[in-house]
Chain A
C-alpha cells in the first residue's frame, strides 16, 4: 500500500512539476515575444511640408506612443485614442513636462498603465498605431490639453483642479 502510494505521490509530483514547467515556459515565451519594429515602420510617402518645430517627435516615438495608447485608451473610440496620444505630445512641447516622448511616458507616477504594467500587457492594435500616428502628424482634438482622466475612476483631488476642455469617450481632457 505505502509503496503504491509513494509511487503515486512521485507520479503526481512529476506531473505537477512538469505542468508548472510548461506553464513557466509558456509565460516566459509570451513575455519575450516582442512586436517587431517592422510592424510600425510602415512609413508613408512624404511630400514637403513646413514643420518648424525643432525636436519635434519623430516616427521613432510611434512605437512607444502606440504602447501608451493601448495601455491607457483601450476600448475608447478612435478619436479618444488620438486625443490621448495628443496629450503626450502636448506635454513634450510644454515647459511644464519632460522634453521627450519617453521622458513624458516614463515620468514617475505619470501614467497608471506604466505603473501597473498594462503598457506591456498587450500588443497595440492597428487602431492604436493609427491613432498614435495621427497625433504625431499634428491632429489634436484636445486643444493643447495636458491631462486626461476617467471621471468614473478614483483619481486624485488635485487633478480636478484642472480646467476641463473636452470630453471624448470615457475620458475628460484638461489643461
Chain B
C-alpha cells in the first residue's frame, strides 16, 4: 500500500513538473511571438510613415522654384526613401516585395542624383520634373493603399500573426491567402506594372541592368571547339593529364558552355570549373580549388607569371594595376591600355599559387563586358593645370590618364593623380574635360610590405 502511495505521489509530482514546464514553455513562446509581431508591426507602421513623408516631399520638390531650397527637399527625399527601404527589408514578406524595394531605392537614388545636379548649378529640367510628378502620383497611390492596410491592422482585422509558425515557404505555396502578405504582394505586383522607368546617372538607373557585354566578339563556337579552347587555356605547369567533361549551358549575361576539368583519380574536390562564351569562345572564368603547398616563389615572380599567362592567352596591351595577397595566393588585376590611357573598366583578374606559380583562377567578366576600341578625345586640361588644382599640402607622386567607370556604368576620362598626405596615399581623379574632381580613393597598404604597380 505504502509503495503504491509513493508511486502515485511520484507520478503526481512528475505530472505537475511536466505541466509547469509546458506552461512555462508556452508562455515563453507566446512572449517571443508577440515580440516578433511587434517588430513586424513597427516596421510596417514605420514604412507607412516614410511613404507619407515621401508623398509630401515629392510634392514640395514639384512646386519649389528655388534651387537651393530644392537641394534640401531632394536630399530629404533620398533620406526618407532609404528609411522606407530599411523598413520594408524587415517585414516578414519583404523578400518577395522586390518591386517595392526597388521603387524606394530608385526614388532615393534619383533624388540624390538630382540634388547633385542642383549643387552643380543645373536646375531640374522638364523631363526630370515629369518623372518627379509621376513618382509623386505613384507614391500618393501607395500611401493611400498602405494607410488602408494600416487601418485594417489597427482595427484588428488582419495581422502578420502566424507568419512565423510554419515559415514563409509553406505560406507562399499554400493556396489559402495569407491576408497581410497577399495584400502586400498585390501592391508589389501593381508597382511592377505602373512604376515609371527611370534613366538617370545613378547606380540604380534602369539602364544599368540592361548593359550588354561589349567585349564578347567573334562567331559562335561549337561545344567541341570550346572544349579544345578550354583545355588549351588553363595553366598546367605540372603536366596533369586532365579529362574534360561538359557540365551544362550557362544562361547568364554572357551565354556560355560550362566544363568540369578533372585531374585523374581525384575525389572531386580538385575539379576545375571553367565557363567559356558561346560567342567567340572567350574563357570567362575558371577556378582551380586545389590546396597550396609551402610557398616557394616570390611575389615579383608570381606577378610576372600572371603577366606571361595573359599575354600568352592573347590579351595584349594589359598593365598590372593592383595586387592582393591572401594566404598563399596572389591575385593580380590587369587593365587594358589604349594610347597610353589606363582603361579601368576593361579588367582581368589572375590568381597565382605561390607554391609553383600556377595560375589557379582567372576572371575576365569586366573585360568581356566593357572592352571595345574607345574614342578618346584629347584632354581639355593639361597636366600642368591639373597639378595646379591639387592642394599644396599634398605631394604629387604620379599623374597619368585613365578611364574610370561612373556609378551608373558610364565612363569618365580622367587624370589619375597619386598623392601622398602624411603617410597616406590617395588617388584623385580629375575629369580631363571639365576639371571636376570625380572621385577620390585611398590606397591601403599593409605594414608587411606593399606592392605598388
Contacts and interface: CB of A to CB of B under 8 A. Distances in A.
Interface of A: 42-54, 77-79, 82, 93, 95-99, 103, 107-110, 115, 130, 133-134, 137-145, 154-158, 163-168, 175
Given A165-B250, A168-B273, A52 B404 contact: yes
Contacts of B271: 77
A112 B57 CA distance: 39
Nearest to A141: B285
A172 to B, nearest CB: 10
A52 B406 CA distance: 8
B109 to A, nearest CB: 7
Contacts of B253: 143-144
Contacts of B299: 45
Given A52-B407, A139-B363, A163 B251 contact: yes
Interface in B253-289: 253-254, 258, 268-269, 271, 273, 275, 285, 287, 289
Contacts of B34: none
A49 B287 contact: no
A139 B203 CA distance: 20
B196 interface: no
Given A46-B324, A166-B258, 12 more contacts: A42-B327, A45-B324, A45-B446, A45-B450, A95-B105, A108-B92, A108-B94, A109-B167, A139-B349, A141-B273, A141-B285, A144-B252
B96 interface: yes
A46 B441 contact: no
B344 A50 contact: yes
B125 to A, nearest CB: 24
Contact of B325 (A44, A53, A103, A163): A44
Contacts of B169: 109, 154-156
A45 B299 CA distance: 11
A17 to B, nearest CB: 14
B324 A49 contact: yes
15 contacts: A42-B326, A44-B326, A44-B327, A47-B453, A50-B335, A51-B441, A79-B287, A95-B109, A96-B102, A108-B90, A108-B94, A109-B95, A109-B169, A110-B95, A166-B250
A52 B273 contact: no
A64 to B, nearest CB: 16
A47 B102 contact: no
Given A77-B268, A141-B275, A45 B250 contact: no
Contact of A142 (B95, B252, B323, B453): B252
Nearest to A131: B289
Contacts of A175: 252
B322 A49 contact: yes
User: For the complex, would chain A's binding face be called helix, strand, loop or mixed by DSSP majority?
Assistant: loop
- In order of increasing CB-CB distance, the 4 nearest A-B pairs are A49-B322, A143-B252, A95-B105, A78-B289
A49 B172 contact: no
Contact of A78 (B89, B287, B427): B287
A138 B363 contact: yes
Interface string B404-447: 11110000000000100000010100000000000101011110
B120 to A, nearest CB: 18
Nearest to A155: B169
B159 interface: no
Interface in B87-114: 89-92, 94-96, 98-99, 101-102, 105-106, 109
A96 B101 contact: yes
A77 B285 contact: no
B37 to A, nearest CB: 12
B168 interface: yes
B451 interface: yes
A103 B95 CA distance: 11
B321 A48 contact: yes
B164 to A, nearest CB: 8
A139 B407 contact: no
B323 A47 contact: yes
Given A108-B95, A137-B331, A48 B252 contact: no
A46 B327 CA distance: 12
Contacts of B105: 95-96
B68 to A, nearest CB: 25
Contact of A103 (B89, B92, B443): B89
A13 B411 CA distance: 76
B361 interface: yes
A139 B348 CA distance: 11
B89 A109 contact: no
B41 interface: no
A165 B452 CA distance: 37
A95 B106 CA distance: 7
A144 B418 CA distance: 32
Contacts of A157: 172-173
B101 A158 contact: no
Given A46-B450, A141-B273, A99 B85 contact: yes
A47 B418 CA distance: 13
A136 B99 CA distance: 26
Given A78-B269, A157-B172, A107 B95 contact: yes
- Which of B268, B331, B402 is packed against the most chain A CB atoms within 10 Å? B331
B102 to A, nearest CB: 4
B139 interface: no
B322 A47 contact: yes
A140 B204 CA distance: 20
